[in-house]
Amino acid sequence: MKFYAITLKPVSGFGTLLKGDTIFGHFCWQAAYDASLIVGGLEEQIALYPEKPFAIFSSAFLKSMTENQNVYFLKRPDLPFSFLIPRQKDRLAGLRLKKEHKKKKWMMVDEALRLDIKKAEFFSDHELLEQTFKHLTYGSRRQFLKTDAHELVKASPQTHNSINRLTQSTGTGPFAPYVKQNFFYLPETELVVFVLIEESATDISRVTCGMERIGVWGYGKDASTGMGRFEVCETNELPLPALKGVTALYALAPCVPEKYTFRDVFFTPFTRFGKHGDRLACHGNPFKNPVIMADEGAVLIPKDIATVQKPYVGQGILNVSKAMSKTVVQGYAPCLPLEMEMLYETNL
């Protein structure tokens, strides 16, 4: 497999956050309409997906620049604080340090993409905003300073109405107005999606073509109202993560870890209440069975380091849809090596 970074630039708000399993679903719809995106067509590759995935997408993370190189802000690893901060002799000082560290939700990594808990630099939302603000153009800075809410990603409620076609009004009950949350990124924000590609099935040019079409038509819910638009700025091939002899793995997307493979898994549970898109959205039962996953940022400790040979973790999830029995959910996630051996051993 080959490993790539795809840089995206949001050009609208989003009704659904950019997570790896949903991006995979959108790409599959593109392949369903254009068989040239995947060798042999979508049905052939979907049948092989549980054993041989043709593409594995990460969730989207913030991309920035510092000291003339690209840096990425990943979610802080889902580890207990005893792994992340040094022990303090003074209990009160330890509690203050823990309280301060709770705010630091982001971890900065450079282009090497090798994570080390002892050397990692963590950022709060405010610190991340300051880092991003430095690289804005003059016009974007002025526009930003005029707004009241200074946030990197602003959650904005939007009111919708369901119209009763018999009375031509919203009425009451199921036709009453309702509110949805939409997410808007700071102008000029760049996001990165990492993708593993099996080149016997597809390549980066075809994956990029699919992503560009997703950005034009819209991603996630409310795409028909203009949400979920983005541009593909560039693609860069990266070396495959060096996993030989690693202590732990960091998941870049929601995943379903394999059984009997890991000694420990630290994660935040994420339940995907999936729904078919495109023409299946109008099917009699477009809803998929819920899938409980480990969210991006999960840390997985292998039982045997020698068994870690693939640049991804997880599995393909079957039997999730009554509308289309062949449906597969991306339970895989690209992974990065995470150094935490000394901390892990001292906390056993």
pLDDT score, position 87: 74
pLDDT score, position 347: 43
pLDDT score, position 343: 43
Q: What is the pLDDT along the chain (348 residues), one digit of tens a residue?
A: 999 999 999 999 998 999 999 999 999 999 999 999 999 889 999 999 989 999 999 999 999 887 778 899 999 999 888 888 777 777 787 788 888 888 889 999 988 888 888 888 899 888 888 887 777 777 777 776 766 667 778 888 888 777 777 777 776 666 677 788 888 888 888 999 999 999 999 999 999 999 999 999 999 888 888 899 999 999 999 999 888 778 899 999 999 999 888 999 999 999 999 888 777 777 778 888 999 999 999 999 998 877 778 899 999 999 888 878 888 999 999 999 998 754 444 444
Contacts of 149 by beta carbon, 8 Å cutoff, 6+ apart = none
Query: Please, are residues 325 and 296 in contact by the beta-carbon 8 Å criterion?
Result: no
pLDDT score, position 174: 67
Measure the CA dihedral 55/60/61/62, to 10°: 130
How would you list the strands of the sheet with 106-110, edge to edge?
A: 121-123, 106-110, 69-75, 55-66, 190-197, 2-10, 230-238
Count other Cβ atoms within 10 Å, centred on residue 1. Answer: 19
| Secondary structure of 107-150 in HEC code, one letter for each residue | EEEECCCCEECCCCEEECHHHHHHHHHCCCCHHHHHHHHHCCCC
pLDDT, one tens digit per residue, over 121-140 is: 899 888 888 887 777 777 77
Angstrom distance (rounded) from CA 21 to CA 272: 9
Query: Please, are residues 247 and 340 in contact by the beta-carbon 8 Å criterion?
Result: yes
pLDDT score, position 186: 84
